[in-house]
């Protein structure tokens, strides 16, 4: 008499596609940077897709056991399992100097060396790294001495963490836009928001993509 051969060993892990893997990485990086999960719109923008497409990717990841979420509750996504994969490809990103996460200080525009960063983070656009000085952004997971990975860009959306030049001094803060009012906000109650008035010279240098703690170097 013949029968089906039983499989042995560990249960097979559901396969994950490249698009799902990228969504998981973007979710991980967003949580590492902001300390809370993204909305579907925010995740979609990082992936370059519409919010409904990002939602479908999250549903697929949830069914395969990589993420969990609470229904009808905003920002409830959490990662429950990482992808066991081959080592990620690392690319060098120039470490340019120091940026203030406290009172605005002039960044030292010197090439101090290179930082190796996952290509999935630094592979889109020109990126650079800066070392954080101060504790005004500790609520966003940035501590004194940490390194931030920044994508060079001149515009950003309200709520994003940016590196900005203010009166020829560089600082890292969360950008806040409400009509004609623009502020740079700290993630520490000890620091007051910096209002951007017409009299001040202001420009965005880049958007913070990831934070690398001192223990990760």
Nearest Cα residue to 84 out of 7, 13, 8: 13
Tokens describing residue 27: 């979710």
**Distance between CA atoms of residues 132 and 142, nearest Å:** 7
Tokens describing residue 50: 């519409």
Q: What is the 3-state secondary structure (H, E, C) of the chain?
A: CCCCCCCCCCCCCCCCCHHHHHHHHHHHHHHHHHCCCCCHHHHHHHHCCCHHHHHHHHHHHHHCCCEECCCCCCCCCEECCCCCCCCCCEEEEEEEEEEECCCCECCCCCCCEEEEEEHHHHCCCCEEEEEEECCCCHHHCCCCCCEEEEEECCCCCCCCEEEEEECCEEEEEEEEEECCEEEEECCCCCCCCEECCCCCCEEEEEEEEEEECHHHC
Residue numbers annotated as active site? 136, 173
Residue with tokens 């515009």: 155
């Amino acid at each position: 008499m013949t029968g089906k051969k039983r499989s042995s060993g560990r249960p097979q892990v559901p396969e994950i596609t490249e698009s799902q893997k990228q969504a998981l990485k973007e979710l991980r990086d967003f949580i590492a940077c902001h300390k809370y999960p993204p909305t579907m719109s925010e995740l979609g923008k990082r992936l370059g897709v519409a919010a409904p497409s990002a939602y479908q990717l999250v549903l697929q990841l949830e069914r395969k056991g990589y993420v969990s979420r609470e229904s009808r509750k905003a920002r409830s996504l959490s990662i429950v399992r990482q992808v066991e994969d081959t080592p990620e490809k690392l690319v060098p990103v120039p470490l340019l100097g120091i940026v203030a996460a406290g009172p605005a200080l002039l960044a030292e525009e010197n090439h101090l060396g290179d930082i190796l960063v996952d290509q999935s983070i630094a592979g889109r656009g020109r990126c650079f790294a800066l070392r954080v000085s101060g504790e005004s952004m500790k609520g966003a997971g940035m501590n004194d001495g940490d390194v931030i990975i920044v994508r060079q860009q001149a515009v950003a959306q309200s709520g994003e963490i940016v590196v900005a030049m203010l009166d020829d001094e560089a600082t890292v803060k969360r950008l806040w836009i409400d009509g004609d009012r623009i502020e740079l906000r700290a993630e520490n109650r000890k620091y007051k928001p910096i209002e951007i008035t017409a009299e001040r010279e202001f420009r965005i240098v880049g958007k913070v993509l990831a934070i690398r703690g001192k223990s990760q170097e």
